[in-house]
Amino acid sequence: MTLVLAGGTVVTSIDPVRIEAADVVVRDGRVLRVGPAPDLGPADGRIDCHDCLVIPGNVCAHTHLYSSLARGMPYHLEPPRAFLEILRRVWWRLDRGLDEASVRASALVGGMEALLSGTTTLFDHHASPNAIDGSLDVIAEALATLGIRSVLAYEVSDRDGVERAAGGVAENRRFAARVEAGSLPLARAMVGAHASFTLSEATLAACADVARSTGTGLHVHVAEDAADEEDCRARFGIAVVERLAGADALDERTLLAHGVHLSEAEIAIARGAGVSFAHNARSNMNNAVGRAPVRRFGERVALGTDGIGADMFEESRVAYFRGREDGAAADPRWALTRLAEGARLAGRAFGEPLLGRIEAGAPADLVVLDHEAPAPVDEASFPGHWIFGLSARAVRDVVVGGDVVVRDRQLELVGQDWLTDHARAEASRLWARLDGIAEHPFDPRTAAVR
Which DSSP string corresponds to 149-209?
EEEEEEEE-STT-HHHHHHHHHHHHHHHHHHHTTS-TTEEE-EEEEEGGG--HHHHHHHHH
List, in order, residues 6 or more apart from 221 with CB less than 8 Å away.
Answer: 125, 193, 194, 195, 228, 257, 258
Task: Say if residue 69's pLDDT is above 60.
Answer: yes
pLDDT, position 43: 59
Q: Where are the domains of the chain?
A: 2-56+356-411, 58-350
List, in order, residues 6 or more apart from 334 with CB less than 8 Å away.
Answer: 320, 323, 328
Digit-coded pLDDT (tens) for 83-120: 999 999 999 999 999 999 999 999 999 999 999 999 99
Digit-coded pLDDT (tens) for 208-229: 999 999 999 999 999 999 999 9
Task: Say if residue 404's pLDDT is above 90.
Answer: yes
Which DSSP string corresponds to 44-80?
-EEEE-TT-EEEEPEEEEEE-GGGTT-TT----SPPP
pLDDT, position 267: 98
Task: Say if residue 42's pLDDT is above 80.
Answer: no
pLDDT, position 80: 93
Class level of CATH domain 58-350: alpha beta
pLDDT, position 449: 57
Q: Give the rounded percent of residues in the chain with a pLDDT score beyond 70.
A: 98
Kindly report the average pLDDT of the chain as a whole number.
95
Residue 254's pLDDT band (cuts 50, 70, 90): very high
pLDDT, position 187: 98
Establish whether domains 2-56+356-411 and 58-350 are of one fold. no
The amino acid sitting at 259 is G
Q: How far is CA 106 from the centre of its chain?
A: 14
Residue 448's pLDDT band (cuts 50, 70, 90): low
- Mean pLDDT in residue range 166-173: 98
CATH topology classification for 2-56+356-411: Urease, subunit C; domain 1 (2.30.40)
pLDDT, position 155: 98
Residue 22's pLDDT band (cuts 50, 70, 90): very high
pLDDT, position 450: 55
CB-based burial label for 29 (10 Å; 0-12, 13-18, 19+): middle
Q: Give the rounded percent of residues in the chain with a pLDDT score beyond 90.
A: 91
List, in order, residues 6 or more apart from 26 with CB less than 8 Å away.
Answer: 2, 3, 4, 5, 32, 364, 366, 399, 402
On whether the pTM is more than 0.95, the answer is yes
Residue 9's pLDDT band (cuts 50, 70, 90): very high
Residue 329's pLDDT band (cuts 50, 70, 90): low
- Mean pLDDT in residue range 306-323: 96
Between CA 7 and CA 13, with CA 8 as vertex, the angle to 5 degrees is: 135
User: Regarding predicted confidence, which is higher, 446 or 444?
Assistant: 444
Task: Say if residue 243's pLDDT is above 80.
Answer: yes
Task: Say if residue 261's pLDDT is above 70.
Answer: yes
